[in-house]
Structure 1
Amino acid sequence: MSGPNRRWLPLVRVASMRFVSYGAGSGGIRAVEQLRLVYAELHATTTRSGVVLSMPWERLDRQGRLVADEPLGRAADATLDELSWWARRCAAHDAAGRTVSSARGASGPPRPPSRSG
């Protein structure tokens, strides 16, 4: 990567990603599955928990606030619990003075074997 993307790339590595998606029918799940592949290539961690809002426009009260039901509340709780767990792990990692390189070994992530002509 080059240019402005280099500035944020170190922030994504050894990071934990969560997704909140919305849409009709599937609630954006297919888009999230594609993003998981992208973040895996950037060495970021994604988890299975997430919040999916299927047709959120039908879940609004008269004031325009989202009305959460029990399944939505459980999904949000599970996602926030995982996020909290990862935040504590990353804070402990930082407190120990470790760097991204030390998290992955001195040489960084494994590289594919080179192809010689």
Structure 2
Amino acid sequence: MTDLFVEVIVGSVREGRIGSAVADWFVARAVRQPNWSVSVIDLAELMLPTDFSPSEAAEELRRRIERADAVVAVTPEYNHGYSAALKTALDSVKHEWRAKPIGFVSYGGVSGGLRATEQLRQVVAELHMVSVRQSVSIHQARKQFRSPNPTVDAIATDAADRMIGQLDWWGRGLREHRGRKAYPG
């Protein structure tokens, strides 16, 4: 069985962010999945132009998304929504997103980023992506990720494992189908 190529996108670029720690936690779980090849796109390092002008960063994102079989967006919730950096990344690529599954790992305060995830589901549907049903929501994230060895609650851990299973199923099925017939979108 060939590896499923999974890109994990760190959607926060803020100073003092915990998004990379949340992504690291998720990646540590994801790499346990047999036959997965996981890599991380950190938007703080990629630095996409907000005016969507051609750039090496946008081209790198396009290449990596084109190669990916599945995507995971690690998103904070800012003011009941997701980050501008993540929206820029979604809008910087077009056809490469199509017919690919996406999962969400959200984090925040009491809501755990659920509102950001719900808004993102609308956006990725317009990009012709398949949003898997299971998502991960990490409530009171700063408390859980304040130490180098976070203790993430059992609900989020279980959700991550379920989401990984759904991404594997959709990722393999859609990759096979894309190989037989071009997506009609």
| CA 1:28–1:69: 2 relative to 1, 3 Å | closer
The alignment's TM-score, normalised by the length of structure 2, stands at: 0.47
**Larger strand percent:** 2
Query: Of 84, 99, 103, which residue of structure 2 is paired with 1:14?
Result: 99
Q: Say whether 1:100 aligns with 2:151.
A: no
**Residue 99 of structure 1 aligns to which amino acid in structure 2?**
A
Identity %: 33
| CA 1:91–1:43: 2 relative to 1, 3 Å | closer
Is residue 61–residue 67 contact of structure 1 (8 Å, CA) maintained in 2?
A: no
Q: Say whether 1:53 aligns with 2:168.
A: no
The alignment's TM-score, normalised by the length of structure 1, stands at: 0.71
Q: Please give the alpha-carbon distance, in whole angstroms, between the structure 2 residues aligned to 1:52 and 1:7.
A: 26
Secondary structure of the residue aligned to 1:18 is: strand
Q: Which runs of 5+ in 2 are unaligned?
A: 1-51, 55-89
Secondary structure of the residue aligned to 1:19 is: strand
Report how far residue 27 of structure 1 moved.
0.7
Larger Rg: 1
Q: Say whether 1:73 aligns with 2:157.
A: yes
Q: Please give the alpha-carbon distance, in whole angstroms, between the structure 2 residues aligned to 1:92 and 1:80.
A: 18
Q: Please give the alpha-carbon distance, in whole angstroms, between the structure 2 residues aligned to 1:44 and 1:69.
A: 29
Report how far residue 61 of structure 1 moved.
6.8
Report how far residue 94 of structure 1 moved.
3.6
Q: How many residues align?
A: 99
1:24 match = 109
Q: Which runs of 5+ in 1 are unaligned?
A: 102-107, 109-117
Q: Say whether 1:90 aligns with 2:174.
A: yes
